Amino acid sequence: MKEQKLKELLEKMTLSEKIAQMVQIQGRLLNAGSEEAVTGPLGELNIDPAMLDNIGSVLNAEGAENLKRLQSEYAKRSAHGIPLLFMLDIINGYKTIFPIPLAQGCSWSPELLSAAAGAAAREAASSGLHVNFSPMVDVVRDARWGRVMETAGGEDPFLGELYAEAVVRGYQRGLSDTEGAMAACVKHFAGYGAAEAGREYNTVDITERRLRNEYLPPYKAAVDAGCEMVMTAFNIVDGIPMSANTHLMRDVLRGEWGFDGVVVSDYAAVRELIPHGAAENDADAAKKALLAGVDIDMGTNIYANNLESLVLGGEVPESLIDEAVLRILHLKNKLGLFESPFRGASEEQELKLHRCVEHLSLARETAARSCVLLKNDAGVLPLKPGTKIALIGPYANSELLCGMWSHVLGAPQGTVTLERGLLERLPDESLSSAPGCDILEECEQVPSAFQYKYPAPLSKPEEQWQKALDTAKQADVVVLALGEHCMQTGEGASRTDPRLPQKQRKLAREIAALGKKTVVVVFCGRPLDLSELSAEVDSLLIAWFPGTEGGHAVADILLGERSPVGRLNMSFPRAAGQCPVYYNHYSTGRPRQEKNRFTTGYSDCENEPLYPFGFGLSYTNFKYGGLILDKNVLTPNSTITLRVVVENVGERPGEETVQLYIRDICGSVVRPVKELRAFERVELQAGEKKVISFSITEQMLKFWTADMVFCAEPGRFEAMAGPNSENLLIEAFEYREE
């Protein structure tokens, strides 16, 4: 449809029909229609049936057949034949489940994330979905916060930017129907990841400079990549809830960044302006959200029941409604819905695409590249052929590998467990398995979302425990498959003690005490405090929640079919008390000095995390040397070339991720102690050596200065290169304006 036609359509719509476009409800409420009795959840929603007939979008409905039916029935009721938009959270895959985003981010491979996003979009579009509430690009630095699992960039804005761009590109691909693309919705704008104390939905109090330097870049990268939608965050920023934050939404997002797509509130976030203490009542909340620039109210009747009287009473201009509705119509038009309301929805395509061989093999590749090897004493891994293996622990044969979002969508069909992955490769007699205990004890279970059910507890727990110990005693090597429960992670799952569940820690202690070679595979959705465990065992492999192909991917690594290549995108703390702990922190006036009480630090713990950002081992070893800069002065129109020699000094081929960090020694405002600015993945044969070079540019030095200007300031800098954020070679340089 031509732009002009959209405007003509808008002119034909009544005020109430326009407002209906700005309302989003749950799919299960849609079918009730105007004739049915308005009781139950629909009654609670309390939206006038005539408005319901013209609602603009729904969330949480899926399936080609179902969505085609919803769209057709709706078309009969609605006034102008404007098709519905269907939106869903497809966080790490739709039917083929990929590793959780935090895990995918450990691949340091934007191309891989883009490919995974493309596969997810193809599957979801065949089921009739149009918009994905993804990617979440909040910078996350506190392992206590359950939602860290959803951010591929982890604690780093630079990785966050790369991934935001890649994932948006992967979902949208020009939005072409024929390619099975869908619109992306970047979230949660802004700063949601900085919730105080890692407590879900908690206060965010952050200076505008820090927000711009560290938290906004990934959202901006998504917008620059053409992301069609933005979701507001639940939190406040500088005292103003994001769904009423005119400054960040109108001045920054739309004004400075030129975003002209649709802004949707997070679920019920407009109504939540009231308990926040930022709106007096429903009408006040609707007014503030509209003025701030929220186009769609997700999940409530606040817009439905208040905007009309606000316009008629002269409290908000109708032009704001028109602008919002035009943006929504525009998105529907871009998706081709006016011409083709069912768009890609097709039962045949669902059968063809869902968990197709191509997607499964991509999921296996992504899962393998997401695993991070944190410890491997005496080269216990990879397991040698002929080794007698005891696979022990509640994750030995568990299908709970897909992460919270996928399980609430009813995911784990076809999930390959670790036991299955190993058994496909090993002769039966070389593997014995025993769970030992449940993932969680009854008293530890977290209230779950939606219809999710916990697995039934093991019967005869004492016997199971003993069986695990006996099985371990018979083996040459014990592989312990341990982990958090997926419901302990994700939304609404903050933890003050991010360690493995107590029973599993006890199991690990007793197994380790047997004196066998012990490898632990950890399934988790956040960096855990593994201090105790890492001291007790030989090898530690973080598998995260690896998705449908998890068991295959982890088996590939354990058996040496593949070398681990993952690098941490979030620091693993030594203790919860360190959180938030992240590599790109500021300096203090009293940097840590050993045995000096009056320097920054703890009396009972080091400052550094147990495993730092960027860290990850391989099955070979790499040596760094020969760091050199081609000159020591950078100017706006020149670059410095940094070269560093990386050598594979082990006996197997391997892939290394060479990382470049920069430190601005002194600025008009205090600068982080280092910031990732580039990286390169390089494959090296045993004994091979390569020179890796990076170009250092003025762009890499820019930040929001004391005068709130985004620029590079003249002065001294350090360029650092190495295998992770702690182990770096350093050279100094200077930046001059000319």
Q: Is 636 helix (H, G, I), strand (E, B) or coil?
A: coil
- Edge-first strand order for the sheet with 477-483 is 372-376, 539-542, 517-523, 477-483, 389-392, 431-434
Enzyme catalytic residues = 266
492 or 636, CB closer to ligand BGC? 492
Distance in Å, CB of 495 to ligand BGC, minimum: 18
Q: Which residues bind ligand BGC (CB under 6 A)?
A: 59, 89, 133, 187, 266-267, 491
CA-based R_g, the chain, Å: 26
Distance in Å, CB of 230 to ligand BGC, minimum: 12
DSSP string, 380-435: -PSPPTT--EEEESTTTT----S-HHHHHTT--TTPPPHHHHHHTTS-GGGEEEE-
222 or 423, CB closer to ligand BGC? 222
242 or 418, CB closer to ligand BGC? 242
Least Cα distance to 434 among 467, 473, 400, 405 occurs for 467
Q: Is 514 helix (H, G, I), strand (E, B) or coil?
A: coil
Distance in Å, CB of 408 to ligand BGC, minimum: 9
DSSP string, 101-168: HHHHHTT--HHHHHHHHHHHHHHHHHTT--EE---B------TTSGGGGGBTTTT-HHHHHHHHHHHH
267 or 704, CB closer to ligand BGC? 267
**C-alpha–C-alpha distance, residues 265 and 317, integer Å:** 20
Least Cα distance to 676 among 166, 217, 207 occurs for 217
**C-alpha–C-alpha distance, residues 62 and 587, integer Å:** 49
**C-alpha–C-alpha distance, residues 267 and 270, integer Å:** 8
Distance in Å, CB of 187 to ligand BGC, minimum: 5
133 or 582, CB closer to ligand BGC? 133
Distance in Å, CB of 138 to ligand BGC, minimum: 10
Distance in Å, CB of 88 to ligand BGC, minimum: 8
- SS3 for 251-319 is HHHHHHCCCCCEEECCCCCCCCHHHHCCCCCHHHHHHHHHHHCCCEEECCCHHHHHHHHHHHCCCCCHH
**Is-cis flag, bond preceding 135, omega within 30?**
yes
491 or 656, CB closer to ligand BGC? 491
146 or 344, CB closer to ligand BGC? 146
Q: Is 620 helix (H, G, I), strand (E, B) or coil?
A: coil
Distance in Å, CB of 26 to ligand BGC, minimum: 9
133 or 694, CB closer to ligand BGC? 133
Distance in Å, CB of 63 to ligand BGC, minimum: 17
Q: Taken in order 216, 222, 223, 228, is the CA torsion positive or negative? A: negative
**C-alpha–C-alpha distance, residues 657 and 624, integer Å:** 12
**C-alpha–C-alpha distance, residues 347 and 64, integer Å:** 6
- Rounded to whole angstroms, the maximal C-alpha distance in the chain is 80
Instruction: Give the nearest residue (CB) to ligand BGC.
Output: 133
Distance in Å, CB of 580 to ligand BGC, minimum: 20
For 475, half-sphere exposure in the C-beta direction (CA atoms, 13 angstrom radius) is 31
133 or 303, CB closer to ligand BGC? 133
Least Cα distance to 541 among 553, 472, 122 occurs for 553
**C-alpha–C-alpha distance, residues 297 and 278, integer Å:** 17
